[in-house]
Amino acid sequence: MKFIQFTSEENEIISTVERFIEERVRPNVMVFERDNIYPQQIVDEMKELGLFGIAVPEEFGGLGLRVPVFAAVMEVIARGWTTLAAYLNSHSTVAHAIKAYGTEEQKEKYLPGLATGEHRGALCLTEPGCGSDLQAIRALASDEGADYRLTASKTYVTNGERATLLLTLVKHPKQSAEEKTKFSLLLVEKSFAQVQVTTTFHKMGMGLVDTVQIEMDRVAVPKANLLGGIEGKGFHYLFESLEIGRIAIGISAVGLAANALSEALRYSSERVTFGVTIDKHQAIQLKLADMATKLVTARLLTMEAAWMKERGGRCDMISAMAKLHASDAALEIAHDAVKVHGGAGYIQEYAVERLYREALLYTIGEGTNDINRIVISRRMTGDEERAYLGLVR
Catalytic center residues: 366
Residues 309 and 317 sit within 8 Å (Cβ to Cβ): no
Pick from 57, 67, 95, 56: which is nearest to 10 by CA?
67
Alpha-carbon span 386 to 383, nearest angstrom: 5
169 forms bridges with which residues in the sheet? 185
Q: Phi/psi at 264 (nearest 5 deg)? A: -65, -40
Instruction: Collapse the DSSP code of 166 into the 3-class scheme (helix H, G, I; strand E, B; otherwise coil) and give the result.
Output: strand
Please name which of 215, 239, 143, 150 lies closest in space to residue 186, comparing C-alpha atoms. Answer: 150
Residues belonging to the chain: 393
Contact 298, 330 (CB under 8 A): yes
- Report in angstroms the alpha-carbon separations of 253 from 2, 131, 298, 327, 341: 20, 22, 9, 5, 20
User: Using CA atoms, how far apart are residues 105 and 124, in angstroms rounded to an integer?
Assistant: 22
Q: Cα angle vertex 87, ends 318, 150, to 5°?
A: 85
**117 exposure class (CB count in 10 Å sphere: 0-12, 13-18, 19+):** buried
CA distance linking residue 9 with residue 279, whole number of Å: 38
With CA atoms as reference, report the closest residue to 121 among 129, 130, 112, 132.
Answer: 112
Q: Which residues contact 263 (CB under 8 A, 6 or more apart)?
A: 337, 341, 350, 351, 352, 355
Taking alpha carbons only, the member of 141, 121, 139 closest to residue 130 is: 139
**Beta strands 165-171 and 121-124, pairing class:** parallel
Query: Angle at CA 369, nearest 5°, toward 52 and 26?
Result: 40
Q: Are 117 and 94 in contact (CB under 8 A)?
A: no
Strand ranges in 68-182 using DSSP code E only, listed in sequence order? 121-124, 140-144, 147-158, 165-171
